[in-house]
A and B are shown apart, each in its own frame.
Chain A
Amino acid sequence: MVNMGAERLHRNVEQVNALNVFPVPDGDTGTNMNLTMTSGVQELRSKPSLAVGKVAEALSKGLLMGARGNSGVILSQLFRGFSRSLAGQEEINSVQLAAAFQHGVDAAYKAVVKPVEGTILTVAKEAAKHAVTIARRTPDIVEFMSEVHDKANEALQRTPDLLPVLKQVGVVDSGGQGLVFIYEGFVQALNGQQEESSWLTAESAFPEFTSGNGAVKSAVAPQPSLQKTSAQSQLSTEAIEFLYDMEFFINRKLGGGNVVPFDEAAFKRNLAKDGDSILVIADDDIIKVHVHSRRPGDVFNYALPYGELTDMHILNMRDQHRDLLHEETPAQTVSVYNANPAEVELGKVVPEVLTGAPVDSLSAASAHEWAPFGIVGVAMGEGIKNIFLDNNVDVVLSGGQTMNPSTEDFMKAIESLAAEHIYLLPNNGNIILAAQQAAELSERSVTVIPTKTIPQGLAAVLAFRDEESATDNTEAMTQAAKQVRSGQVTHAVRDTSIDGIDIREGDFIGILEKSIVTSAPALSEACKELVARMMDEDGELVTILTGEQAELAETEALSDWIRTEYPDAELEVHVGGQPLYPYLFAVE
């Protein structure tokens, strides 16, 4: 019977692996449970006995020795309690078996530091509870085990209701699924079915284990309730059916005399017509509503008769998800489980992971609140824009020396941000005033960091720390902007003489901060002279941002020259894409 349980699990390892919610390479709950179970069965085979107590003891010992991963450890604890309850028994009946299941659950709950519902623990608990209930009236052990298995499966299907992260990804709990497979094997064994059991050899221990990067294939035909591929990839943008994530309050007091009595059940039924993740918390004056809906208008219409609506927030989750896919970094994918802050607030979600990967320090509740900070920057060129966006800047206004954004442009950008405190980075001396004016006019909390160049702007955003206070950030960003030397090269549009430098139309001029320091007919010459002035004796890091007009050969020659001339400095070249200025330089 145990062999069959192990066999069922073994045959479905990849299916269990594929249920891991978290996009981590060690998404291997199935493998861990399988290896744990294998160890149990090996021990059991090494000590053949007909006495149930002895068999259970051997199994338990093997499981404890082989326990891997959290699910494996929990599995071993379940069977540890189970075997203790059966100690000394030769044969058992339904009642004893039920008691053993219950003992297992008790032991497992005690062993786990922080039990999480919606996991293998819940599945085991529900099954054991049912077992105890039906044991007396179900003396037939086959029928009994079959009912226990059904109940376990039922509990498994409900795990997404208990652990919202499962619901988000649309899977059942992987460890729980593993346990259901084991119970399924028990039932089959009691029914006298046989499965080929040639697998207890080392070579076949990982039949289809293709890789650790989550791209595992399911080795078996999936059951209807299960996914064919890994859970994380299941969260395709289109799969977000109820795409508008809504949160709002119904204020019963503000509704005038016309509010109708609140019928929570009817209201929820209405929301459920086209939505899920429904959460309604009602007290006398205020009703808090959270729902993922396909029809946000309908949701508001259902709510209106009950009072005045306040603090309405709607997010398009497909949009958010597109951004996530675009970013493609696992850490950001993890933040998907931020999407249900209401549940988190209520303590429903304990974002505990049963795959061995730990919970990170996400402040899950903050997803729907205003962000502490927003940053608006000004830049020309696709490349520079992307660098800013990649480094915490929320809005990049197009502009530079010639196309200055207006105060109104800044005002609009400020209004578009749901952030407590907003920083403006003008990145050009000619734009600082417009930014400052916008800061004064806006009723929001806005600070201008008076960055005069793109390099200064970049230095400022790199000094920004989301977790620091506004005061500290202002100080750090302002200081950082002062630490960097900025240079730019462009061509002269007329003949002139400035600061003792004669400039001819068409020459290339090198500008260090605000002063023209060199003018030369050849671009390379102007660049070298400018860089030499910028390096002084202590430049450690040179960054080149190449403009629209920069040519690859020119850039390479310049890079080689800098590496040769300044072997101790690090050099980075990035595509800036700015017009008119073939090269921007930053030296730090």
Chain B
Amino acid sequence: MSTVRIVTDSTSDIPAELREQLGIEMIPLQVIFGSETFLDNVTLTPEQFYEKLQSATVMPTTSQPSPIQFMEAYERILNEQPGASIISMHLSAKFSGTYQSATIGASMLERDADISVYDSKSASYGIGMLVVRAAQLAQQGKSKAEILEDIEQMNEDKKLYFLVDTLEYLQKGGRIGRASALIGSILNIKPIMTIDSEGYVNVKDKVRGQKKAVARILELMERDFGKDPVDLTIAWTNVKDLAIELGELTKTNLNVRSVHHTWIGPVIGAHVGPGAAALFINRVRGSI
């Protein structure tokens, strides 16, 4: 039986401890402030990033890892465990060239290797939950095909909603399309955002005021999952309180089995802006 190893990138926002425990390899993207370049979630922690963002005079930009970084990671894994299969799971190809870099990295390997590069069509813990699940299944000795099938189902079933303080960051980064043009700027309209099944950022709904936005998200999730047992992950930029409040409210409306917390890391944070918070939710999945 061959081993399956999981590779992801830094935008999956998996807490380092969990990542290490599950043996997940992580390739960082880059965050660039003017002439300073940082490795996402490695040489720049989310706390440092949001602090830096407040005093920064230039807007940060971000950059995908180079193909060689992926190639080297794959090499390293294959040297450690010859014959291992690899699933490399990444940020939506609609947002970043990371997926392409990984694909090129895999094609550059000069030996036979069984690597599947998987476009999560998602971001942050929307990738993270799939990666964690995949790593758990790998630990249980499931095959690459079994794992891929399971995470694809999970991917289709999962939901994510996020709130941003302003659409400015998404618009400036070019990460949101036509929908945002329809949102007026005079009234304090809170768009409820999601990432659709194609991997694009979309406006799910728009309401006025923070309270209504929170209420609407709860309503949407109730409609999505009813009373099915769910796992919930809450992620925040620099608004931990809002995120925790969201999580608490969710518990009263839904059958929540577990709640996890994480940061929205620098690269994703650079594109959603400070003030953003996100909820990631999936039906509890049994063994396969």
- Contacting residues of chain B (128-144) with chain A, CB-CB under 8 angstroms: none
For B181, give its contact among A73, A211, A335, A467 (CB under 8 Å).
A335
Q: Tell me if B103 and A113 are in contact (CB < 8 A).
A: yes
The CA of A66 and the CA of B62, in the complex, are separated in Å by 14
The answer to whether B68 touches A64, judged by C-beta atoms less than 8 angstroms apart, is yes
Of A66, A330, A540, the residue contacting B209 (CB under 8 A) is A540
- Chain A residues lying within 8 Å of B208, measured Cβ to Cβ, are 462, 541, 543, 572, 588
Chain B residue contacts of A403, Cβ below 8 A: none
Q: How far is the CA of A25 from the CA of B53 in the complex (A)?
A: 15
Cβ–Cβ contact B182 & A73, under 8 A = no
Interface residues of B in 182-208 (CB under 8 A from A): 182, 184-189, 198, 200, 202, 206-208
Tell me the smallest distance from the CB of B63 to a CB of chain A, in Å.
5
1/0 contact trace for B74-99 toward A, CB 8 Å? 00000000000000000001111100
| B222-252 Cβ-contact flags toward A at 8 Å (1 or 0) | 0000000000000000000000000000000
Chain A residues whose CB sits within 8 angstroms of the CB of B186 once the complex forms: 386-387, 390-391, 574
Given A73-B101, A570-B209, decide whether A357 and B173 contact each other with a Cβ distance below 8 A: yes
Task: State in angstroms the CA–CA spacing of A353 and B175 once bound together.
Answer: 12
Query: Cα distance A539–B101 when bound, in Å?
Result: 51
Q: Which one of B35, B103, B172 has the highest number of Cβ atoms from chain A below 10 Å of its Cβ?
A: B172
The answer to whether A209 and B35 have CB atoms under 8 Å apart is yes
Asked if A244 lies at the interface with its beta carbon under 8 angstroms from chain B, I say: no
In the complex with contacts A68-B66, A211-B57, A462-B206, A363-B184 CB distance below 8 A:
no
CB of B286 closer than 8 Å to a CB of A: no
Contact partner of B35 (CB less than 8 A), chosen from A70, A206, A467, is: A206
Determine whether B178 belongs to the interface, using a CB cutoff of 8 Å to chain A.
Answer: yes
Q: Which of A64, A358, A570 has the most CB of B within 10 A?
A: A358
Contact residues in B for A213 (Cβ distance below 8 Å): 58-59, 172
Residues in B44-70 with C-beta less than 8 Å from chain A: 57-64, 66-68
- Whether B67 lies near A205 (C-beta < 8 A) is no
Known: A68-B63, A387-B187, A588-B208. A22 touches B178 (CB 8 A): no
Minimal Cβ-Cβ distance residue in A for B201? A360
A511 within 8 A of B: no
In the complex, which residues of chain B have a beta carbon less than 8 angstroms from the beta carbon of A65? 66, 68
Task: Please report which residues of chain A, range 361-390, place their CB below 8 angstroms from some CB of chain B when the two chains form the complex.
Answer: 361-363, 386-387, 390
**Chain A contacts of B57 at CB under 8 A?**
211
Bound-complex Cα distance A458 to B189 (A) = 12
- Residue ID in chain B nearest A383 by CB atoms: B186
Query: Max chain A CB contacts within 10 Å: which of B68, B107, B174, B211?
Result: B174
A7 on the interface (CB 8 Å rule)? no
Whether A532 sits at the interface, judged by CB under 8 Å, is: no
Q: Please name all residues of chain A whose beta carbon is closer than 8 Å to the beta carbon of B181 when the two chains form the complex.
A: 329, 331-332, 335
Residue B171 at the chain A interface, CB threshold 8 Å: yes
Number of A residues near B (Cβ < 8 Å) is 57
User: Which A residues from 42 to 74 make CB contacts under 8 A with B?
Assistant: 64-70, 72-73
Q: Are A67 and B67 in contact (CB under 8 A)?
A: yes
Name the one of A72, A387, A391, A570 contacting B210, with C-beta atoms under 8 angstroms: A570
Instruction: Tell me the complex Cα distance, A31–B212, Å.
Output: 43
Point out the residue from A111, A212, A541 that lies within 8 Å of B107, measured CB to CB: A111
The answer to whether A329 and B171 touch across the interface, beta carbons within 8 angstroms, is yes
Interface residue? B180 (CB, 8 A): yes
Q: Name the one of B171, B187, B189 contacting A330, with C-beta atoms under 8 angstroms.
A: B171
Judged by a CB distance under 8 angstroms, whether A119 is at the interface is: no
Partner of A205, one of B35, B59, B62, B211: B35
How would residues 95 to 115 of chain B score, 1 for a CB under 8 Å from any chain A CB and 0 otherwise?
Answer: 111001101100110000000
Residues 464-488 of A, flagged 1 when their CB comes within 8 A of B and 0 if not, give: 0011000000000000000000000
Contact between chains at B103 and A25 (CB < 8 Å) = no
Partner of B211, one of A26, A467, A540: A540
The winner among B101, B181, B188 for most chain A CB atoms within 10 A is: B181
What CA separation (Å) do A64 and B208 show in the bound complex? Answer: 48
Give the contacting residue for A25; candidates B61, B179, B184, B207; CB below 8 A. Answer: B61
B15 contacts the other chain (CB 8 A)? no
- Chain A nearest CB: distance from B202 CB in Å? 8
Beta-carbon contact of B173 and A25 below 8 Å: yes
Say whether, besides A334-B174, A462-B189, A26 and B182 are in contact (CB < 8 Å).
no
CB <8 Å contact, A358 and B187:
no
Interface contact A391-B172, CB-CB below 8 Å: no
Query: Of all chain A residues, which has the CB nearest B56?
Result: A212
A83 located at the interface, meaning its Cβ lies under 8 Å from any Cβ of chain B in the complex = no
List of A residues within 8 angstroms of B212 by Cβ: 540-541, 588
Question: In the complex, what distance in Å separates the CA atom of A174 from the CA atom of B96?
Answer: 19
Docked pose: A584 CA to B207 CA in angstroms: 20
Query: In the bound complex, what is the Cα–Cα distance between A329 and B67 (angstroms)?
Result: 34
Q: Which residues of B contact A458 (CB under 8 A)?
A: 187
The answer to the question of A177 belonging to the interface, with a C-beta cut-off of 8 Å to chain B, is: no
CB distance from A202 to the nearest CB of B (A): 9
Find B34's partner among A113, A206, A356, A362 (CB 8 Å cutoff).
A206
- Chain A to chain B contacts (Cβ below 8 Å), 16 pairs: A26-B61, A32-B63, A67-B68, A73-B64, A76-B67, A113-B103, A211-B34, A212-B59, A331-B171, A358-B94, A362-B178, A387-B184, A541-B209, A541-B212, A572-B187, A588-B209
Question: What 9 additional pairs, Cβ within 8 angstroms, besides A73-B97, A331-B178?
Answer: A67-B101, A76-B66, A113-B93, A211-B59, A212-B34, A360-B176, A362-B177, A572-B208, A588-B212
> Closest 7 A-B residue pairs measured CB to CB?
A360-B177, A357-B174, A26-B61, A390-B184, A391-B184, A67-B66, A541-B209
